[in-house]
Amino acid sequence: MPVPLESRVSTAVRASLAEALSLVFPTWCAGCDELDVSLCGACAAALQPHPAARRLDGFEVRSALPFDGVAARVIRAYKQEGRTGLARPLGAALAAAVGTVDADTVIVPVPSSRAAIRRRGYRVAELLARRADLAPRRLLHPAAVAADQRELGREARAANVHGTLRAGPVAGLRVIVVDDVVTTGATLSEAVRVLRTAGADVLRAATVAATARRSPAA
């Protein structure tokens, strides 16, 4: 059956617009730089979760992916380049790490700093949880500014983040803490400490990715 002229014109117009937009706003795969796609099929497949768990300071952390290769590039593009469309595939990995959630369990994202929110315009862990349909609640808040963590070891990171978070009304709540990446574990440990001090029952933590075990959480 012939395709109606109107439909053919509409298809041609959409294709022309897409081509024009690709020239003005070029798109490339966050994982491998393939042109005209935000995430190619091969890189999307590389983000299929394979959750693994580790113990950290008295609680379990489950991570969907190792923080290397495609996963690391995609997470950096999401965080550093403002490519928020990547929050959905990354959120799917986070959901796999979170696992089964009971109706009375609350998902609490690790908060971004105020400076990071101003710079990016979004909260990294919270947006991932929202795109994963995890219904996060903003029950952790920045309380102080930490120095740059990147060049610090585990003990220095722990000291650096101590006192940088405060909890909202969490007494009696069953909580799973979520974040994007676990590196040395300092930030997650501080989040869990603050929540437990405020009366929450922290069941575990979950992240999209984890660095090699030689540098255990972020």
Q: What are the residue boundaries of the structural domains of the chain, listed by start?
A: 49-210
| Per-residue model confidence (pLDDT) at position 151 | 46
What predicted TM-score, i.e. pTM, was given to this entire model? Answer: 0.81
pLDDT reading at 23 higher than 90: no
Rounded CA gap, 205 and 68, in Å?
20
- Over residues 115-144, the pLDDT tens digits come to 999 999 999 999 999 999 999 999 999 985
Q: Report the C-alpha dihedral over residues 177, 181, 184, 186, rounded to 10 degrees.
A: -40
Token pair, residue 94, equals 């986070």
User: Quick check: 149 and 186 in contact, CB under 8 A?
Assistant: yes
Q: What angle do CA 106, 162, 158 make, to 5 degrees?
A: 100
User: Quick check: 61 and 172 in contact, CB under 8 A?
Assistant: no
Residue 94 CA to its chain's centroid (Å): 7
Token pair, residue 184, equals 């040395």
Residue with the bigger pLDDT between 11 and 164: it is 164
Q: What CATH fold (topology level) applies to the domain 49-210? A: Rossmann fold (3.40.50)
pLDDT band of residue 156 (cuts 50, 70, 90) is: low
| Per-residue model confidence (pLDDT) at position 143 | 83
| Ranges 6-10, 13-17, 101-105, 158-162, most confident | 101-105
SS3 label, residue 69: helix
pLDDT band of residue 212 (cuts 50, 70, 90) is: confident
Token pair, residue 104, equals 């009375």
Token pair, residue 124, equals 């990294």
Residue 39 CB coordination number (10 Å): 26
Residue with the bigger pLDDT between 155 and 132: it is 132
Strand partners, 167: 140
